[in-house]
Structure 1
Amino acid sequence: MNNDTLEGGTRNIGGRVKETTGVLTGDERLRSEGVADQVGGNAQKAVGAARDAVAPIINQAKDFARAKPMATAALVGVLGVALLNTLRGRR
Structure 2
Amino acid sequence: MNTDTLNGTATNVGGKLKETLGGAIGDTSLQSEGAADQLGGTIQKSVGQARDAVEDSIRPVLDYVRQFSKERPFTAAAVAGVLGIAVINTLRGK
TM-score range, shorter chain: 0.7 to 0.9
Structure 1 gaps, min length 5: none
CA distance in 2: counterparts of 1:48 and 1:8, whole angstroms? 8
Shift of 1:45: 0.6
Q: Does residue 62 of structure 2 align to residue 75 of structure 1?
A: no
The change in CA–CA distance for 1:81 and 1:6 in structure 2 (over 3 A counts) is farther
Choose 1 or 2 for highest CA Rg.
2
Structure 2 gaps, min length 5: 70-75
Aligned residues: 85
Shift of 1:72: 4.1
Shift of 1:33: 0.6
TM-score by length of 1: 0.75
Give % identity: 45
TM-score by length of 2: 0.73
1:29 aligns with 29
Instruction: Map 1:1-91 to 2 at 5 A.
Output: 1-66=1-66, 67-68=68-69, 69-70=76-77, 71-75=79-83, 77-79=85-87, 81-82=89-90, 84=91
